[in-house]
Amino acid sequence: MQPDSARRRAVIVSGRRSPFVKANTQAASLSAVDWAARTLAEVVAAADMDPARIDQVVCGCVLPPVAAPNVAREAILQAGLPRRIPGLTLNRACASSLQAAVSATEAILAGSADVVVALGVESLSQMPITYSRALLQALQGVKQADRVQDRLKALADIPLGDLLPAMPAIAEASTGLSMGQHADRMARRFGVSRREQDDWALTSHRRAAAAQEAGRFAGEVHPLWAPGGDPAGIHRDTGVRPTTTLEALASLKPVFDPAFGTVTAGNASPLTDGAAGLVIMAEPVARALGYEPLVAIRSWATVALDPADELLIGPALAIPQALQRAGLTMADLDLIELHEAFAAQVVSTFNALESSDFAGAYLGRSEPVGAVDRERVNVDGGSIAIGHPFGATGARLLLHAAKTLVRTDGQQALVSACAAGAQAMAIVLERV
């Protein structure tokens, strides 16, 4: 497919992300809104643009604070941006900020926006906790009671068990299994050994550590100062372990299935806080404002399958669809940024893409999607090492793919992430 010069393209102009910080550590005091506001301010500052140019802010967030569910809008207000900018918060689980970028792109292509900031954020340190319906009902009764004795009676009627808050489940609503259990199941189905998983986890850490050492995140990560934290601030992702070894990873016990499981805390992505954002513009507007865009968003695909069948294999379906829409094949890709929920899921995705059986059963074609060059996948590490703030991961993948494509002078890159509910998204980027 030849780029049509008359076509209005959406281009990524610049972006920034926070350091990704292990949940419940140095930056646990920051809410999702705090994270989003900080990164939004940095994105605007780094783009060196008049914030009045922003038409809207779209933010992916999986577990927004109960008190401020529209994180995007609150972040606009908290960051001191012009108050007339609308904010939308959306949720497509772990692909939320891929969706934010796609929503931005669609608005630009539809002509309803010229400049959009696509954000993603998550504070897993401040997961909203909920209480049982029985407790909420009982509390209503207390509120409505006029006399003190009626209030006490209403309070006394609350069963003790209802006082415990319900933590947001990492378990799937539709299958009742935790995500880790799904990963274990997936590893068995796609024949991914514990060793293969630990190998990939080690690769993730080593590549991320090397990238940190070489300063390859320097133009992406903004410093973060958390209230009450070390005044020196946080300047890099805190989950990366440069010194981890295969032996250390092998010594970890399976978390989800003690008897037969292979998924451990070492080969899964950790609970993380963080935010990431991109400035996406209509190409002519970007040029008129004097920007040299990084990449254009060429095509995308969103897929879903039956969660009872397979929860995390979505990227193996989304990737061929996005490639097909771009008129490309696996071989055309200089770079792949694939979300690492679990090493088991990453390797299973490789196996599925390279499998003719999978192609036959799921894609209705006899040829496999194509060989995956592992050296082009997550060249600077992935979510296992860097961390995984659900809503922010997609924007991180896009930002790093865009910057890396420019740095390495590549032409096409692909970004993909699986998401809870057996969904997935893939986006193809091209140099402009």
Task: Tell me: does residue 327 bind other proteins (CB under 8 A).
Answer: no
Amino acid (one-letter) located at 383: S
Q: Total number of residues binding other proteins (CB under 8 A)?
A: 28
Least gap, CB of 432 to other proteins (angstroms)? 23
Give the chain's end-to-end CA distance (angstroms, integer).
15
C-alpha 181: how far from its chain's center?
20
How near is the Cβ of 45 to other proteins at its closest, in Å?
A: 3
Nearer to other proteins, 233 or 360 (CB): 233
Q: Is residue 46 at the binding interface for other proteins, with CB under 8 A as the rule?
A: yes
191-197 contacts at long range (C-beta below 8 A, 24 or more positions apart): 191/351, 192/262, 192/343, 192/344, 192/347, 192/348, 192/351, 193/262, 194/250, 194/262, 195/250, 196/343, 196/347, 197/262, 197/263, 197/264, 197/267, 197/342, 197/343, 197/344, 197/347
Task: Determine, following the binding rule CB under 8 A, whether residue 225 of this chain makes contact with other proteins.
Answer: yes
Q: Which stretch binds other proteins (CB under 8 A): 36-44, 107-115, 159-167, 393-401?
A: 36-44
Q: At what angle do helices 315-326 and 343-353 cross, to 10 degrees?
A: 50
Among 165, 223, 242, 284, binds other proteins (CB under 8 A): 223
Verify binding: residue 157, other proteins, rule CB under 8 A.
no
Residues 6+ apart with CB under 8 A from 12: 101, 278, 279, 280, 293, 294, 295, 296, 297, 398, 399, 402, 429
Q: How far is the CB of 227 from other proteins (least distance, A)?
A: 5
Contacts of 261 (CB under 8 A, 6+ apart): 180, 184, 254, 255
Q: Tell me how far CA of residue 235 lies from CA of 47, 212, 230, 427, in angstroms.
A: 19, 10, 11, 28
Does 420 sit near other proteins (CB under 8 A)?
Answer: no
Active-site annotation, residues: 94, 388, 418
Tokens of 350: 């490789």
For other proteins, give the closer residue by CB, 230 or 247: 230
> Which of 141, 229, 254, 370: binder of other proteins (CB under 8 A)?
229
69 binds other proteins (CB under 8 A): no
| Spacing of C-alpha 189 from chain mean position | 25
325: closest CA among 297, 349, 306? 297
CA distance 21 to 19: 6
When asked if residue 275 is in the footprint of other proteins (CB under 8 A), the reply is no
Closest distance of CB 111 from other proteins, Å: 27
Per CB under 8 A, does 44 bind other proteins?
A: yes
Among 235, 287, 374, 376, binds other proteins (CB under 8 A): 235
The distance of closest approach from Cβ of residue 27 to other proteins in the complex, given in angstroms and rounded to an integer, is: 12
| Interface pick for other proteins out of 6, 156, 232, 259 (rule CB under 8 A) | 232
Contacting residue, 41, 286, 344, 417, with other proteins by CB under 8 A = 41
What are the E-state strand segments in 305-352? Answer: 335-338
Site membership for other proteins, residue 38 (CB under 8 A): yes
What is the closest distance, in whole angstroms, from the C-beta atom of residue 395 to other proteins in the complex? Answer: 18
Q: Residues 6 or more apart from 107 whose CB is under 8 A from it? A: 55, 56, 113, 116
Residue 77-96 contact track with other proteins, rule CB under 8 A, x = bound: xxxxx---------------
According to the binding rule CB under 8 A, does residue 33 interact with other proteins?
yes
User: By CB under 8 A, which span of 32-40, 119-127, 311-319, 412-420 interacts with other proteins?
Assistant: 32-40
Q: Which residues bind other proteins (CB under 8 A)?
A: 33-34, 37-38, 41-42, 44-46, 48-50, 77-81, 222-223, 225, 227-233, 235
